[in-house]
A and B are shown apart, each in its own frame.
Chain A
Amino acid sequence: MTSVKCFISWMKEAGRGHLAAFLGWGAMILYGLLLIGRLSFDTDYNFFGVGNLVPGRLMAGMGLMLAFLEFFYLFQQKKQDFYYSLPVKKSTVFWSRYVHGIFHSVLPLGLVMASCGLYQSAIDPEFATFVGSYTGKSFLAAAGVFLIFYHIGILSIIICGSLLSALPVCAAVILYFRILTGNVLINFASDYFYTYYRIPLYEELRKMLSPFDLSEYLFGRDVYEKAHVLRYTPGMELIMAALGWIVILFLLILWAQRKRKTEGTGRLFALAGAERTAEILVSFLAGVWAAGFFADLTGMAKESRTAAGAASALLAVAVAFAAHCLLEGIIKGPGKKMFRRKWQMASVCAAAAVACAAFPAAASSYDTYFPAEASGVSVSIDGVGMSYDLYLQVQGDGLRYETDDQLEQYTLTGDGRRAALGWLQGIAGQGAQSGRSEDNICTRVTACYYVGERSVYRTYPVTWDELESFAAVYETQEYKEKAYPAVNLENASDDRFTWDDGVTGIPLKLTGDEKEGLLAAYREDISELTMEELSSELPCGNVKIKASAGGAVTEMIVYPFFKRTCDILEEAGVDTGKTFRDYPVESVEVRETLFSTSPGSVGGVSTSFYETPEEIEEWKQKLVPSELDVQPVLYPLDRSKEIKAVTEDPETNSLIRTNCVLRRESN
């Protein structure tokens, strides 16, 4: 009864109605045509596989839809009676549909990918060398995503007896770990751990346990540049996670398919084990999620972690209990044996309470953790070595990308490491917030300690005194090399040097030797630079060095006290002493946002124009080009007004609009 002929005949039977074929082939052919259309316009930013998240999403959607199309008969009592009364094994009906679904998705996927690959290689010579590897990797990634979601859909259908329960179960399987890691664990960590910045384990868990995130990473979510996209191969951990999802789900399907009884159709759960598992997992998640939300909403943890932990644990128990009762009510009907699973309910409530209490309990050791023997350390101080706009994003909007970039840039393993660890030990020893006045805190430092294979992140508030003591780190050779990458440039004689003082830019006419001389002078100036000097003066400009090979631009910030550098620049025709005051300013536009300070007063935006010589002269004394605002913490400027100055460039007889900021009185 399960001969190959019989299996094939049942595969054909699964195709009755041609819905799966229509969906699989129709969607892929349509998508393929759209892709080829887009590729014909541009192959630099359009990708048909890796580098483009759409195929992953398409395959995820197709996996779910095909699962529901192929196995919908498991919700239909009449159809099951019909099939199962025939001289065929239940497993033959099931697995023939399983293969049928794969056939009508993976085959068109392969054909579309191959067609796109061949087409792009015909029109894009750069792609031609990657046609095999890129197309193969894209196909495998798409097929993997399809199988993950196809299996999720099938498992949800097998363990449930009706569509009404299968859809929420399917959504729960997809979202469960995303919520647990992203909305519960990370919420708890950020609320209870004062020094929390990031826990890589949680991020890895989210990446691997959330099918949507995993599928996006398989398609290279963070890869944009064509050169990187074409060479992208998902990490081994991602491949193993995808295989894990596929294999584990397949084994669960295999088990559930054998265990499922025909009479399970129509019930919420067709398998008692699945019902119990769903109750446990959903009740637990409801409890900890509510507790996490509560902690986040009230901010109690900032006042007292113990009180917040106790309140969260109580709330978690209450919500887990309510969720358990609600699920029991839905499954068994209202009022019927609501407490039939007392021990299960008690265990779930206890687990939720323990999970909530674990964070405040571990908070103290987390915050005081300091790996004195770390093999390396990365440091990023908000507002140090970053422009005001980036500082605003990091501080105000909580964006992390600049901090992450700095952590990557300022990785110290030599003399800088020893100095940084010494400095950080003092800060970490302060116990994060205890005994510190908010007024005394000027910024935050984020550190990443490299302990063995692990990266441990912490963020600490920094007082003015501590910032001053950071000079011990700042003035190390290693830190300076990171902070001023121009000192590492070699063989720059063919590179293009341009001087920019924040208002105008001019190319520097230097010979190769003069360029090397300029860099050597800069190295010497940087080696003598102290952090204190950064608070005394603004830069007078910067030299942008565009590499002849690759075109990368390196900036060389020049301060007026860089005697050697300034001398060479003067020789090259740059007036390093020229400030904004020396430019012929035509007008100044000042835009100010006024806030309502008392009842009856009206806020708004006022714009003023200053054009008389007296007014212009007065403004010129106070203005600085905003491009020179590179140390917003060490040399703060007044950003309360948006100022645009129009200057005249006599050489080109043109007008230049420059964004400016005000010097502070204290400056």
Chain B
Amino acid sequence: MIWIRNVSKHFGSVCAVNDISLEIPEGMMFGMLGTNGAGKTTLLRLLSGILDMDSGEIMVDGKMLGEAKDKIFYLPDDPYYFPNASLEEMSRFYAGQYPEMDCEAAGYMAEGLNLDIKQPLRTFSKGMKRQAFLILALCSGTKYLFCDEVFDGLDPIVSEIMKNLFRQEMKERKFTAVVASHRLNELEDICGNIAILHKGGLVTAGDLRGRSEHVKKLQCVFPEGTDMDTLERELRQEMEIVRFRADSDFVTLIVRDVTASALSELKKRAEVAREASMSLEEVFIEEMEGQDYDIRKVLY
């Protein structure tokens, strides 16, 4: 478990991280979402011990961060490697730093992804480098893995391969991965918990799917010629509508804490009315409603 308490970080007059308090539970993938400049990378660098915080504290498994650095592997968006070093050499180097580093597993995983472990990393494509470093990160044997924009700019196939690597490793050992991204779709299928950062501050964090159980998504077809403005007005009097989207006679509603009678009334008025599963995007829209945060920045 990582406890982040009132952590702030300023770069000159710019506040990069503003009084963030957060708990990252163990054994899961934790997403960190935010636009460019939201403070994701700074928070990850603070968690990795690269930067020193101005105020606040970070505890890892009850220890101060400086005493727990051997439990942490930081994978930046553009990782550093020694000139002319190969994947094999880098894994040997990491083995000197992380006692749990499994060089054999790294070789095995690289072979599975058709990566030549003896070839210099500088000759690898961007996607290949990302895969190579993810292999190194996963094989380091650390309890915590901090990944910054690891899927950014990758084609869907490589992105999926890397997510599969995460999933496989998660099955084998319960480590905690914190993955920062500025795109929700990169996180939604692998992260259980997600924190949203904005202008250095924490907008929200937690298991958003679980927290949105009281919210329902309803897809309805109303009789032809129904006045949608009137309908929306009338429905808003009967139930708490988070989102009302009409496309001709087809209406999608996201409603919060809807009662059975209100639902029954809706079904009576509509020709067709059924409940649909909510995407994480919709959960976010629901969660962000009223929090002065334009969620579309991280959706598209």
CB of A17 within 8 A of CB of B83, answer yes
CB of B69 within 8 A of CB of A81, answer no
A80 CB within 8 Å of chain B: yes
Q: A81-B45, A81-B76 are in contact. Are A87 and B83 (CB under 8 A)?
A: no
A261, B51: Cα distance in complex, Å: 7
CB of A16 within 8 A of CB of B82, answer yes
By beta carbon, the residue of chain A nearest B83 is A17
For chain B, which range describes its interface: under 10, 10 to 19, 20 to 34, or 35 or more residues? Answer: 20 to 34
Interface SS majority for chain B: loop
A133 CB within 8 Å of chain B: no
A609 CB within 8 Å of chain B: no
A78 CB within 8 Å of chain B: yes
Residues 243-271 of A at the B interface (beta carbon under 8 Å): 261-263
Note all chain B residues with C-beta closer than 8 A to A79: 80
Q: Looking at the assembled complex, report how far the CB atom of A565 sits from the nearest CB atom of chain B, in whole angstroms.
A: 83
Note all chain A residues with C-beta closer than 8 A to B73: 85
Q: A81-B45, A85-B74, A87-B69 are in contact. Are A263 and B79 (CB under 8 A)?
A: no
Q: A84-B49, A85-B72 are in contact. Are A78 and B80 (CB under 8 A)?
A: yes
By beta carbon, the residue of chain B nearest A89 is B66
A86, B73: Cα distance in complex, Å: 7
Note all chain A residues with C-beta closer than 8 A to B45: 81, 262
Interface SS majority for chain A: helix
A14, B253: Cα distance in complex, Å: 62
Could you mark each residue 104-133 of chain B with 1 if its beta carbon is under 8 Å from any beta carbon of chain A, else 0? 000000000000000000000000000000
Q: Looking at the assembled complex, report how far the CB atom of A518 sits from the nearest CB atom of chain B, in whole angstroms.
A: 81
Q: List 9 interface pairs A-B (beta carbons < 8 Å), by A numbering.
A: A1-B69, A81-B76, A85-B49, A85-B73, A87-B69, A87-B97, A261-B52, A262-B52, A263-B51
A262, B69: Cα distance in complex, Å: 17
Residues 42-81 of B at the A interface (beta carbon under 8 Å): 45, 48-52, 66, 69-70, 72-74, 76, 78-80
B30 CB within 8 Å of chain A: no
B96 CB within 8 Å of chain A: yes
CB of A80 within 8 A of CB of B97, answer no
B222 CB within 8 Å of chain A: no
Number of A interface residues, CB 8 Å?
Answer: 18
CB of A87 within 8 A of CB of B11, answer no
Note all chain A residues with C-beta closer than 8 A to B80: 78-79, 81-82
A374, B82: Cα distance in complex, Å: 69
Closest 7 CB pairs of A and B: A85-B74, A82-B80, A87-B70, A87-B69, A84-B50, A85-B48, A78-B80
Note all chain B residues with C-beta closer than 8 A to A504: none
B98 CB within 8 Å of chain A: yes
A9, B79: Cα distance in complex, Å: 22
CB of B83 within 8 A of CB of A88, answer no
Add 19 more A-B contacts to A9-B96, A85-B48 (CB < 8 A). A1-B69, A1-B70, A16-B82, A78-B76, A78-B80, A81-B45, A81-B50, A82-B76, A82-B79, A84-B50, A85-B49, A85-B72, A85-B73, A85-B76, A87-B69, A87-B97, A89-B66, A261-B51, A262-B52
A263, B66: Cα distance in complex, Å: 18
Note all chain A residues with C-beta closer than 8 A to B51: 261-263
CB of A262 within 8 A of CB of B98, answer no
Most B-side CB within 10 Å, residue of A17, A84, A85: A85
By beta carbon, the residue of chain B nearest A80 is B50
Note all chain B residues with C-beta closer than 8 A to A17: 82-83
By beta carbon, the residue of chain A nearest B73 is A85
